[in-house]
A and B are shown apart, each in its own frame.
Chain A
C-alpha cells in the first residue's frame, strides 16, 4: 500500500527545507533550453550586453598594451632618474626671487654630485639654438645640447657608435660633437658610410668633429624633445658659446630605483643649502622624478578607462532594459507554467530565483560572447602597424569584471520580472489565457 507511511516521516521531511543543487542545475538547464528555443530573440536581447562588453574589452586591451609598452621602456631604467629645473615660487614678491636667483648654476650640479651619496651621476643640460652646417646642408635653429659625460647614464641613452665625451674633452673644451641618427640623416654626413663618425660640422660657424652617434629612445615620445635631430657638445664648450641668459636644467640618476626618493630629498637639501635659502623660504627650483611622467601617463590611461567604463555602463543599461523587457514577455508567456510549478510545490522564492537565474544566464552568455569578440578585436589591434599596440591584451581582471558586471545586469534587470513571476497566484496563473 503506497499510502501506508507514517505521518512522523512526513513531519521530519519538512524540516530544513532548502533549494538543492538539483534545483540550480535544473533551473540553469531550463534557462539554456529556453534561450536555445528562442535563439533569435535571445541574441537580439543580449546584443546590448555583447556590444558593451566587446567594446570595453577592446578599449581596455588597447590601453593595457599601450601602458605595457610605455611603462616597460620607462621603468627599465627610468625610475631612478631625476630632473632639476629652475622654478620661481608663486605668491612671493618678484623682487625677492628674481630669475637670476632661480637659474641653475654649474656649481650646483657639481655640489649635488659631490654631496649627494644617492646620486650616481649628474649632468647639466643647456639648449642652444644654432645654425648647423655640414658640407652640403645648412639648418637654422637646430637645438644643440651642452652636456657632461654622465648625461648618458642620467637619461639612459648610450653611444651606439664612436665614443662619448672624455674628461679631457670637457677640461680642454675640445670642439667635438655627438649626434643622433636623425641628425646624421638630415645633415647628410654619412657619405663615406661610417655613419657620420669623423665628419666635421659647423656649429655657429665653428668646426666640430663628430665623435659618436647617440641612440634615440622611445622615451622621447612623451614630449621631452620634439625635434628629431639632436646634436650634443661638451658643456664647457657650450658655456663659451653662450651669451647672456640661458636656460639650464640638470639630469641626474640615483644609485638605484629604490634610492630615488632619498636622492630627491638629498638634491633638495643640497640645492637649498647652495642657495642659502632660509627654512621658511620656498624652493626656487623643482626636482622632478621620472615617476611623475609615469604617473601622468597612468592618470591619463585611467581617465580613458573611466570614460570607456562610462560608455559600457550606458550600453549595459540599454542591454539591461532589453533583458527586462524580454523577461517580462517570458513571464507573461509562461504564466500557466508558473502556475503549474507553484501547484507542484515551488515556493515564491524558488520561482524568483529561477527567473533570476534565467536572466543571469542570458546576460552572462552575452558577456562571454562580448569577451570573445573583444578578445578578437584586441588580437587584430596588435597587427596595426605603428600603433604601439603590439602588447594589447585582455587582462584577467577585465574578464572577471565583465562577467561579474553582466551577471549584475542580469540580477538588477531580471529582478522586477522575476518578482512579478514569484507573486503570481497559482490559481489565477493556471486559469490564464
Chain B
C-alpha cells in the first residue's frame, strides 16, 4: 500500500481514570489509501471514538506510529498537531458546531483565522465562497445558523471542513441529528465530494450510512474486528444496493436542477 495516505502501526491508547486503566486501543494496524471512503463502525466502548480522535490528530497514541501523508504525526508536539489539523484535516460533527452569531461565510472562513498562509482578505473570502458553492449553498452566504435548516447547517460545516482541501475529511456521526431525507442529501454530498477526489472517513453505527462507503472497518474492544468492502460486510451489504440506487437518483436529480439553473 505505497499510496496510503494514512498508515497506523500498532497504535495503542491507554487512559488512566483514577486507579483504573482503560485500554481504549490495543494495537491497531490500518492503512487508508488516497481517495478512499471508509466507514469506521463499532459499538460504544469499541474504541472508535478514540481511533477517530487519533486519526484526526486531536489525540496522540500511547504507543505505535501514525504516518499521515508521509509525516510521522504520532511524534509531533501539540502545536504541530494544531497546524496539521488546520491544513490536513477537516472535521464534520454530529451537532454541526457552527458559531451562532457568525454568518455561513464567516463560519466557513473560521479555519483561515488560524492560518498564516491563506493569503489576503480577498483570497480568504473567495476560498470560503467557493467552498460554500461546492456544497450548494452559494445563495446562503449571509445566513446565520438559526436561519438555516439542519441539512443546510451540516452543509456549512462540510464547506468549512473542505476549505483547506484536507488530506482527510473526518465525519463523526454526520447524520446523527438529521431526518432520513436530509441524511440522504448529506450522504449524497459526501459521495460527490469523494468522487471529486477527497478521502473521507465516516464514523457511524448505522449500517445504511456505512453502505454509502466503499470500505467498512469494524472495531471491538480496541482491536480491528473486520476490514471489508461494503459488499462483503455481512451487516452492511443488504443496504448497499439501496444506497447506490439513492445516489443514482440524487445525481440525476442534481443534474436536472443544474440544467435548469
Binding site for B on A (CB under 8 A): 1-5, 7, 10-11, 13-14, 16-20, 22-23, 26-27, 33-34, 37, 336-337, 339-350, 426-427, 430
Contact = CB atoms under 8 A, between A and B. Distances in A.
B34 A3 contact: yes
Contacts of B175: none
Interface in B156-180: 160, 165, 167
A387 to B, nearest CB: 48
A342 B58 CA distance: 9
B220 to A, nearest CB: 21
B110 A344 contact: yes
Contacts of A19: 114, 116
Contacts of A346: 82, 86, 113-114
Given A23-B113, A337-B99, A345 B167 contact: no
Contacts of B71: 7, 11
A432 B196 CA distance: 34
A347 B82 contact: yes
Interface in B57-77: 58-59, 69-71
A347 B111 CA distance: 11
Interface in B185-239: 196-199
Nearest to A1: B197
A343 B56 contact: yes
Contacts of A4: 197
Given A3-B165, A345-B82, A33 B56 contact: no
B245 to A, nearest CB: 27
A344 B117 contact: no
B124 interface: yes
Given A3-B197, A347-B79, A26 B113 contact: yes
Given A336-B97, A347-B79, A348-B78, A20 B199 contact: no
A343 B83 contact: no
Given A3-B167, A4-B197, A426-B58, A345 B160 contact: no
Contacts of B118: 22
A22 B112 contact: yes
Interface stretch (B39-47, B87-95, B246-254): B87-95
Contacts of B121: 22
B58 A343 contact: yes
A343 B99 CA distance: 14
23 contacts: A1-B35, A2-B196, A3-B35, A3-B199, A4-B197, A5-B165, A7-B70, A7-B71, A13-B87, A17-B116, A17-B117, A26-B113, A34-B101, A336-B97, A343-B56, A344-B91, A345-B85, A345-B111, A345-B115, A346-B86, A347-B82, A347-B114, A426-B58
B165 A345 contact: no
B82 A342 contact: yes
| Interface of chain A: mostly helix, strand, loop or mixed | helix
A346 B82 CA distance: 6
Contacts of B79: 347-349
B53 interface: yes
Given A19-B116, A427-B59, A344 B197 contact: no
A5 B165 CA distance: 9
Contact of A7 (B56, B69, B110): B69
Nearest to B82: A347
A345 B53 contact: no
A341 B83 contact: no
A41 to B, nearest CB: 15
A398 B196 CA distance: 61
Contacts of A7: 69-71
A344 B165 contact: no
Given A26-B113, A340-B99, A347-B78, 8 more contacts: A2-B198, A4-B197, A10-B88, A23-B114, A339-B97, A341-B114, A342-B82, A348-B78
B34 A345 contact: no
A344 B87 CA distance: 8
Given A3-B197, A14-B83, A20 B58 contact: no
A2 B197 contact: yes
Nearest to A342: B82
A344 B69 contact: no
Contact of B86 (A33, A340, A344): A344
A5 B56 CA distance: 20
B45 to A, nearest CB: 15
Interface in B23-44: 34-35
B104 to A, nearest CB: 15
B191 to A, nearest CB: 15
Nearest to A345: B86
A22 B124 contact: yes
B85 to A, nearest CB: 5
A33 B199 CA distance: 36
Nearest to B113: A26
Nearest to B79: A347
Given A18-B116, A347-B79, A10 B34 contact: no
Nearest to A19: B116
Contact of B85 (A10, A344, A349, A350): A344
A428 to B, nearest CB: 10
